[in-house]
Structure 1
Amino acid sequence: MIKVFRLGYVHFQTQNMERMLEYYTDVLGLTVTQQDSQTAYVSTSIDHHNIILEQSSESGVVGFGLQLVPEMSVAEAASELERMGLNGNVKTDPMPGVSELVEFKDIDGYTVQLFGEMELAAEGFKKTGVAPNKVGHLSLRVQDAKKSVEFYKQFGFTNTDWIEDFFGFMTCNRDHHVLNFATSDRKEMHHMALELRDYSHLIQSMDTLGRNGIRILWGPSRHGAGHNIATYHRDPDGNMIELFTDADIYVPELDMFEPRPWHENYPQKPRVWETEECMTRWGTAFEQSLV
């Protein structure tokens, strides 16, 4: 089985590189580590990149990169993909910061790249803008969330929670979720989430958005699945971006989450949530619907 341990980067195409770069650098406080006429590589802290922006005639998510566990090589991952009946394309020096990867399309046509190592090129966190800890998770609209959940189990992911039967959460480490999948009639990103340090950082970040004229769509409030305190807005291309903190920590050896005072159950284990009880545990009403 292929085993990954983190979401390395998310790849977007954009019709307006200038506006997107201004958002990711000036508003979010990320660092451009490398750029040419078509592509910009952006980092949250020390990785060469965690966001790829590619100039295009269309906007939206292209795919994402997952980092393999150190004991698995790209060649071994390629062999496993072949055994699984997937067409993996091994690439050497495919992008700055990554010397080798294997690329394939998942069951919904998203481009997935499995890589072993990434150069450390950025100097750390900026002192301006939001300056999040990391890209926390990626949420995708898919034809059938149940099928996507089963598909990604082949890469070492564990299903942690469900919203009814249409929204599945998955992790490959101790975060509550790294990927999640929403059954939909269209293929596109649902949202990308950036992890913040604490609630005061979340409030400071919302002030930053306000100063830049960026409207809050939803939140802040505490979700059910994951129990993260979250708020949502849109980037210049209309992609939905979540800023969150205080998410559940999964203990795979016990198939439970580290106890927190706001949990509904002790122990808190993976479960199926009703939509309304999952959206906000504070009972806050918002005009914008997320699902």
Structure 2
Amino acid sequence: MFHVFRLGYVEFNTRDIEALKRYYTEVMGFSLVEEDADGRVYLSSSTDHHNIVLVPSTLSGFARFGLQYQSDFSAKDVVKQLAEIDIKAELKTDTKPGVPEVIGFSDPDGYEVQLFSEMGTAASGFKHVGIIPNKIGHLSLRVESAKRSVQFYEKLGFINTDWIEEFFGFTTCNTDHHVLNFCASPRKGLHHLAFELRNYSHLAHCMDYLGKHQIPILWGPSRHGAGHNIATYHYDPDENMIELFTDGDKYVKELDSFEPRPWHRDNPQKPKVWKTEDCISQWGTSFEKALV
């Protein structure tokens, strides 16, 4: 069988590719790795060939995402394994630079998922100017049924780590509290894309940096309940919601619990169902901008 172990990249369609390219290079501090003949822009947070892809389009918004997997079997065998769990997938080669093979399929809400085992490297490393996150932390999608989405991704090896009532489900494929989460919503699309920062001082620096670029903070900083990350949110130029966070919980699969932290109210802190009022802010902070 195959093992999905991280969120590798996220793609956005955009009507204004130059504005979004400036945001990722000048504000987020990503490196521009490549622009292909069709105008697609490939951006790297550190050493991957790409972690963000921008696609020229007549529409703007979330397009698709890539999950990296490990397997002792060939990609063709993985396609067969997916078929055994009722996921119809297609193997494509050389569809994008840096990724020789992609296994593509759609989830129950029609979101395009791409599995890949190998990605080329970029020599850029971390830049010195910009927000410069550690990595893409997690992707949050609006779905028809959070329960259905969680159950689907469990077939890919994801583990359900927390719930906010019945409308928001968190899942992970590694030690991060969540890698994918799902918000039940009447409309389809991105809820938010989150980038992991190094610590709280880095987060404070980033908010100053956003201020210098006249990008207002929508919500935060505050500490969430589920995941316990200290988070803040803003919009990119296409009004995709972007989260910057630090201090997220670390999940220990063997114990089905999270590494202890001084701010945990449960001991041990295990996956559970949170009430909305207990989860949004552990600091009792309220904001005019809602996150749903």
Same fold (TM over 0.5): yes
Matched, 1:110 2:111: yes
Q: Which residue of 2 aligns with 1:256?
A: 257
User: How far has the Cα of 1:86 moved from its partner?
Assistant: 2.5
Matches within 5 A, 1:95-244: 95-244=96-245
Q: Cα gap change, 1:222/1:72 in structure 2, threshold over 3 Å: closer, same or farther?
A: farther
Contact 2:2 2:71 in 1 (8 A): no
- Describe the superposition over 1:197-252 as per-residue Cα deviations: whole angstroms up to 9, x where unpaired: 00000001001100000010000000000000000000000000000000000000
**Equivalent residue letter for 2:5:** F
User: How far has the Cα of 1:2 moved from its partner?
Assistant: 4.2
**Equivalent residue letter for 2:66:** G
What is the CA–CA distance in structure 1 between the aligned matches of 2:257 and 2:231, rounded to whole Å?
21
What is the CA–CA distance in structure 1 between the aligned matches of 2:196 and 2:184, rounded to whole Å?
24
**Equivalent residue letter for 1:58:** L
Contact 2:2 2:72 in 1 (8 A): no
User: How far has the Cα of 1:89 moved from its partner?
Assistant: 1.2
Q: Which residue of 1 aligns with 2:285?
A: 284
What is the CA–CA distance in structure 2 between the aligned matches of 1:74 and 1:178, rounded to whole Å?
23
Contact 1:74 1:114 in 2 (8 A): no
Instruction: Name stretches of at least 5 consecutive residues in structure 2 with no aligned partner.
Output: none
Q: Which residue of 2 aligns with 1:82?
A: 83
Query: What is the percent sequence identity of the aligned residues?
Result: 59
What is the CA–CA distance in structure 2 between the aligned matches of 1:19 and 1:189, rounded to whole Å?
19
Contact 1:176 1:249 in 2 (8 A): yes
What is the CA–CA distance in structure 2 between the aligned matches of 1:71 and 1:33, rounded to whole Å?
30
Secondary structure in structure 2 of the residue aligned to 1:276: helix
What is the CA–CA distance in structure 1 between the aligned matches of 2:74 and 2:172, rounded to whole Å?
21
Q: Which residue of 2 aligns with 1:28?
A: 28
Larger displacement relative to structure 2 (32-41 or 214-223)? 32-41
Contact 1:2 1:154 in 2 (8 A): no
Instruction: Name stretches of at least 5 consecutive residues in structure 1 with no aligned partner.
Output: none
What is the CA–CA distance in structure 2 between the aligned matches of 1:122 and 1:184, rounded to whole Å?
40
Q: Cα gap change, 1:66/1:72 in structure 2, threshold over 3 Å: closer, same or farther?
A: farther
Runs of 4+ displaced beyond 2 Å: 70-73, 84-87
What is the CA–CA distance in structure 2 between the aligned matches of 1:75 and 1:188, rounded to whole Å?
30
Q: What RMSD, in angstroms, separates the aligned Cα atoms of the two structures?
A: 1.0
Contact 1:43 1:122 in 2 (8 A): no
Secondary structure in structure 2 of the residue aligned to 1:42: strand
User: How far has the Cα of 1:17 moved from its partner?
Assistant: 0.2
Matched, 1:5 2:5: yes
**Equivalent residue letter for 2:284:** G
User: How far has the Cα of 1:72 moved from its partner?
Assistant: 4.4
What is the CA–CA distance in structure 2 between the aligned matches of 1:103 and 1:256, rounded to whole Å?
32
What is the CA–CA distance in structure 1 between the aligned matches of 2:15 and 2:5, rounded to whole Å?
32
User: How far has the Cα of 1:70 moved from its partner?
Assistant: 4.2
What is the CA–CA distance in structure 1 between the aligned matches of 2:152 and 2:45, rounded to whole Å?
29
- Describe the superposition over 1:28-75 as per-residue Cα deviations: whole angstroms up to 9, x where unpaired: 000111113420011100000001100000011111000012434322
What is the CA–CA distance in structure 2 between the aligned matches of 1:72 and 1:32, rounded to whole Å?
33
What is the CA–CA distance in structure 2 between the aligned matches of 1:122 and 1:254, rounded to whole Å?
38
Q: Taking structure 2 as the reference length, what is the TM-score of the superposition?
A: 0.98
Secondary structure in structure 1 of the residue aligned to 2:171: strand
Q: Which residue of 1 aligns with 2:19?
A: 19
What is the CA–CA distance in structure 1 between the aligned matches of 2:209 and 2:77, rounded to whole Å?
44
Secondary structure in structure 2 of the residue aligned to 1:253: helix
**Equivalent residue letter for 1:285:** S
